[in-house]
Structure 1
Amino acid sequence: MRTRFTEIFGVEHPIVQGGMMWVGRAELVAAVAEAGALGFITALTQPTPEDLVREIERTRELTDKPFGVNLTILPSIDPPPYAEYRQAIIDSGVKIVETAGFNPADHLPHFKDAGIKVIHKCTSVRHAVKAERIGVDAVSIDGFECAGHPGEDDVPGLILIPAATSKLSIPVIASGGIADSRGLVAALALGADGVNMGTRFMCTVESPVAHEVKEQIVRNTELDTKLIFRTLRNTARVATNAVSEEVVEIESRGAEFGDIAHLVAGARGRKVFEDGELDAGIWTAGQSQGLIHDIPTVGELVDRMVAEAEAIITGRLNDIAGADRAVRA
């Protein structure tokens, strides 16, 4: 399944494992690369830029295939040293970066000078158009179904993906609500050049999150997420649990961030992923949980998606086209 994305970024399949806090580590990223897809180490999961360098080296010990690093730029009272993380990526010889959050304009010249291709994650067409204008090589467009921050426009993928692809000339990666071959085929039909999956890759054997989290994803349905921070205009989609329900309830009465900060601390979410305590904090998951019914290896997942996607295209869709031609005749 060759697309502009696979050609430009040098991977076999048009499938991406995007950056996920506490999840994008060497074991998962290397497994994705070995399966012929594109995986991203999450830079800020690593405590320091030096730790990121070591994680990149550890990934290279596990695979010689292409992989990238995600650098998410977010507002913070005490921001991490973004320039130092950026330099660690450049010095390590990484050739693909996924940026997310704020406009990457300040970082883009440094990456471009180092020959690095940049994919920028967006949640709206207007942001995607701006990202193309400042020189990114591709955009990943997040529909409302996605885990994490879907933006404030609430536009689902069936609308957002073709709206974006009709306005852009660079490759578009469809993200949000995709977990299987049907999502891959649909995204390609909507004009995308590939798909990005987070929740689905989180629920694989090589994913570093606790097995209890993976089992919960399998048990969950498409209804088992909560939208938090809605009243703060910083919407995030997370898994339903005691903590996310409490956050939503507090927000319903009117709240400032300080009223819920103790519930949504990142250290608590990390405890969920590392210790499997499902109600220890909030943890990100998308509506695609309703499409996830097993915990395969990454290789099994990617092989299955590609094989089934090809079968849909050459089988069912071809049969429909053939039937239409017969009726017209």
Structure 2
Amino acid sequence: MPDPAPSTLPAPRLRTRFTDLLGIEHPIVQGGMMWVGRAELAAAVSEAGGLGIITALTQPTPAELAREIERTRKLTDKPFGVNLTILPTITPPPYDAYRRAIVDSGVTIVETAGSSPEPHMEFFAEHGVRVIHKCTSVRHAVKAERLGVAAVSIDGFECAGHPGEDDVPGLVLVPAAADALTIPFVASGGFADGRGLAAALALGADGINMGSRFLCSAEAPVAASVKRRIVEASELDTRLIFRELRNTARVARNEVSDEVVRLLAAGGAFDDVRSLVSGARGRRVFEEGDLDAGVWSVGLAQGLIRDVAPAGDLVRRIVAEAREVMLRLAERTSG
């Protein structure tokens, strides 16, 4: 499907507590996706008034992350952030060095995900960095607020990647978070258009975070076949893997994810699927376009995605749609 011609028309600002906190125009965040969160995409989202995110661990070294941050700065002078995903591994990345590269590069917005941000909070606070912590439950969001994060991004069960083990969808999770938090938060999982943004605001969120929608943007550094599959797929075309291991992940349905589900359902252990789910195989999907080369993340929101569009156009379109939805509802319920 050809990319629509980009639009240069600005969208009227949609102001919330989240936009005020970060100095951005619109409450739309581009998810920090592994292998995808690079300069061109992040800059396009930020330039349109949203918050673009570079993914730190996509860069092989802290020095290369610093270069990617500099590349982003050459593309936009608007605020953008860096995602730092913290996961327990046999050989952990040099998180301290990545943190230092972020701060030394002058970045003041960091999205943390995975494990608790607690080990990183003192360092970031000392350097004036505002932390947005991504989590999948109200209890984790409340704990993050106590730790001093500036905002939370809360993932409903619809999201790509790891939705946690509670299986609470956004329609319940978002208002529950609104009742429990005092800091700004954005809703994540299942959002792809202006209807979703308007709904998130109505449920008490201060904005939305989108991964799958921006994965299917012109600037996303993934193969065209991946974007076509997202456009063609429905909300039924994902699989939940690792359920038996209590490390659930939502990925695209393909030969590999079907095999992983089969093996684990039959009593298999992680070692039985390790070679199938390696990150190197998933990266091949994005870079080479072989949709069955490995597992790759996509959310239920793919059922709402109908085109491949420039990321800036997506931001402007979604804000305009949200305004139209809210105006239409006001007219419908007035009098």
Residue 318 (1) aligns with residue 330 (2): yes
1:156 is displaced (CA, Å) by 0.1
Residue 210 (1) aligns with residue 238 (2): no
Aligned to 2:166: 153
Q: Which has the higher contact order (CA 8 A, sep 6+)?
A: 2
Runs of 4+ more than 6 Å apart: none
Residue 93 (1) aligns with residue 112 (2): no
Residue 220 (1) aligns with residue 233 (2): yes
Matches within 5 A, 1:1-329: 1-314=14-327, 316-322=328-334, 325=335
1:18 is displaced (CA, Å) by 1.6
1:198 is displaced (CA, Å) by 0.1
1:218 is displaced (CA, Å) by 0.2
**Structure 1 letter corresponding to 2:332:** I
1:214 is displaced (CA, Å) by 0.3
Unmatched 5+ stretches in structure 1:
none
1:242 is displaced (CA, Å) by 0.5
Identical positions, percent:
68
Counterpart secondary structure, 1:47: coil
**Structure 2 letter corresponding to 1:271:** R
1:88 is displaced (CA, Å) by 0.7
Deviations 1:57-94 (A, max 9, x none): 11111111100000000010111111111111111110
Q: Which whole-Å CA distance do the structure 2 matches of 1:318 and 1:169 have between them?
A: 27
Q: Which whole-Å CA distance do the structure 2 matches of 1:27 and 1:255 have between them?
A: 41
**Structure 1 letter corresponding to 2:62:** P
Q: Which whole-Å CA distance do the structure 2 matches of 1:171 and 1:36 have between them?
A: 18
Q: Which whole-Å CA distance do the structure 2 matches of 1:113 and 1:86 have between them?
A: 12
**Structure 1 letter corresponding to 2:174:** I
**Structure 2 letter corresponding to 1:253:** A
* Deviates further, 122-131 or 302-311: 302-311
1:190 is displaced (CA, Å) by 0.3
Q: Which whole-Å CA distance do the structure 1 matches of 2:109 and 2:285 have between them?
A: 29
Q: Which whole-Å CA distance do the structure 2 matches of 1:40 and 1:123 have between them?
A: 19
What is the TM-score of this pair, normalised by structure 2? 0.95
Q: Which whole-Å CA distance do the structure 2 matches of 1:6 and 1:255 have between them?
A: 46
Q: Which whole-Å CA distance do the structure 1 matches of 2:324 and 2:272 have between them?
A: 51
Counterpart secondary structure, 1:232: coil
1:248 is displaced (CA, Å) by 0.3
**Structure 2 letter corresponding to 1:155:** V
**Structure 2 letter corresponding to 1:175:** S
Q: Which whole-Å CA distance do the structure 2 matches of 1:122 and 1:185 have between them?
A: 21
1:303 is displaced (CA, Å) by 1.1
**Structure 2 letter corresponding to 1:18:** G
Q: Which whole-Å CA distance do the structure 1 matches of 2:181 and 2:114 have between them?
A: 20
Counterpart secondary structure, 2:160: coil
**Structure 1 letter corresponding to 2:237:** D
Unmatched 5+ stretches in structure 2:
1-13
Counterpart secondary structure, 2:118: coil
**Structure 2 letter corresponding to 1:313:** M
1:255 is displaced (CA, Å) by 1.6
1:207 is displaced (CA, Å) by 0.7
**Structure 2 letter corresponding to 1:223:** L
Deviations 1:250-296 (A, max 9, x none): 01101211110000000000000011110000000000000000001
Deviations 1:119-166 (A, max 9, x none): 000100000000000100000000000000000000000000000110
RMSD value over aligned CA atoms?
A: 0.6
Q: Which whole-Å CA distance do the structure 1 matches of 2:331 and 2:43 have between them?
A: 38
